[in-house]
Amino acid sequence: MAIKDKVILITGASSGIGKAIAETLDAYAPRLVLVARRGDALRALADSLQSESVVIACDLLETTTLENLVAQTIERFGRLDVLINNAGIGGKVGLLPELPDSQIHQMISLNLTVPILLSKYAVAQFTQQGEGGTVLNINSIAGKWAFPYWSVYDASKAGLKAFAEALSEEQRSNNTRIISIYPGACATDIWDSVDLAQAPDASGMLAPQQVADAVLYALNQPQDLLISDITLMPTKALL
């Protein structure tokens, strides 16, 4: 398989889609760098995997951490082949004047600035290795469709879409693929960070495993084949 023995860094790996990705890739014997804030959950995940893995518990909003993630990966495994930008946050849903400034900064930082900076460091490493690599972004359907009352979240995800498309064109000559996956509503704990009057019904949502299966499919293609865009939507209408 194309991912066998590859070194893969996954952010937001302690739960939800990130955890499902790690568990799904594990069957193909990559070497995994698992990143999230919750160290206990990361260590429990690593203990359950057969693949060689390293746990890095950190806050991605501490920007000095980001370059260190790639440096620690190289120190442990000697290379980096795939970056999966999965970590993200929701927030208060409402009219823009109702949103706290701190939450706006946090959403833009984690959903957009962090993936941009990690991609910068990863692409530099791919270029140094001389063999190309892959950046895979777990975006959101909000990156394609604007939803009222989610304006800042929409902006962060639309920005990530534009960034990925431009970076893809920049890096084709370096044999580096930029892949974006756009899930619709998915049953993860991101909903715990979304300020809604009523919790959404998760029964019709995508499962994290369905997103992980799409990640596996995209990564397992040969390096000279780019699947740039996968959109996943639940069949059942949620609204």
What are the residue numbers of the active site?
153
Residue with tokens 């990156």: 143
Residue with tokens 């009352």: 149
Q: DSSP for 152-166, please give it.
A: HHHHHHHHHHHHHHH
Q: Which amino acid is at 131?
A: E
Residue with tokens 């991605």: 60
Q: What tokens were used for 227?
A: 């699947």
Cα dihedral 142/144/147/148 (nearest 10)? 120
| Residue 10: closest CA among 94, 97, 122 | 122
Q: What tokens were used for 215?
A: 């990640």
Q: Are strands 53-57 and 31-36 parallel, antiparallel or unpaired?
A: parallel
Which residue(s) pair with 134 in the sheet?
82, 177
**Cα 22 to the chain's mean position, in Å?**
12
> Are 11 and 36 a contacting pair, CB within 8 Å?
yes
**Cα 218 to the chain's mean position, in Å?**
14
Residue with tokens 């009057």: 197
* Cα(230)–Cα(125) distance, integer angstroms: 25
